[in-house]
Amino acid sequence: MARSHIIVTTNDLISDSGSVLWSFVKGEQLEFPVVINFITDATAGYIFEAVIVEAKNVANQEYSDKPVDVEPGGDETTLTVRLPSVIGTWSAPTAYNAEDVVLYSLLYYKLLSGAGYISAVTPDLDANWELTTLNKVYIQFPSTIAATWTQSPNVDVPVYGFFELRVTEPTNPIFVQTWKPVRGLVEVLFSPTDLVP
């Protein structure tokens, strides 16, 4: 049987759907959900790490020109990755808070809002609950992104950082695996309110 030449790649054994672009106005503080498709329960001891590294932005860089290097000695930001807060099996007399996740009829539901919420209506019929999964994590981007970067965004020119999420399995008797399922750029845009005290 003839074999392919080593430099003629025909199969991508590890593939992804592409890099992401997170876009923020300087000073925004937001949280985004990310579904990790290759696991079923993010609360099962997995280690999640999310970081932003300052890119080598230049003064008056063209809007279409994205940096391709890391800023030497630049800012490195570790982001918080929030996991689902699984409370247990739903029970009518129990008080629940926003973002609590409960198991009901073999499905998971998340409370959308409220504090000390009590209802006898089951989560599948209560509009205050939404269907969710345990393989969803929440990445928190603080308002201080780009606050100490070498370059600040101009009115028409953003600045960039490099983003990556790393997931490491808790234990594996054979070989502990680490994945990097989300990578890309963080774009920070000019903000008038950032300039006004």
C-alpha distances in angstroms, 81 versus 30, 42, 141, 152? 12, 11, 9, 26
Domains, in order of start, for the chain? 22-67+153-162+169-197 (no CATH), 85-133 (2.10.10.20)
- C-alpha span between 155 and 191 (Å, rounded): 8
Read off the pTM: 0.89
Structure-token match 């063209």, residue found:
62
The token pair at 26 is 């300087």
Each residue's pLDDT expressed in tens, for the chain with a length of 197 residues: 677 777 777 777 777 778 999 999 999 999 999 999 999 999 999 999 999 999 999 987 877 789 999 999 999 999 999 999 999 999 999 999 999 999 999 999 999 999 999 999 999 999 999 999 999 999 999 999 999 999 999 998 999 999 999 999 999 999 999 999 999 999 999 999 988 87
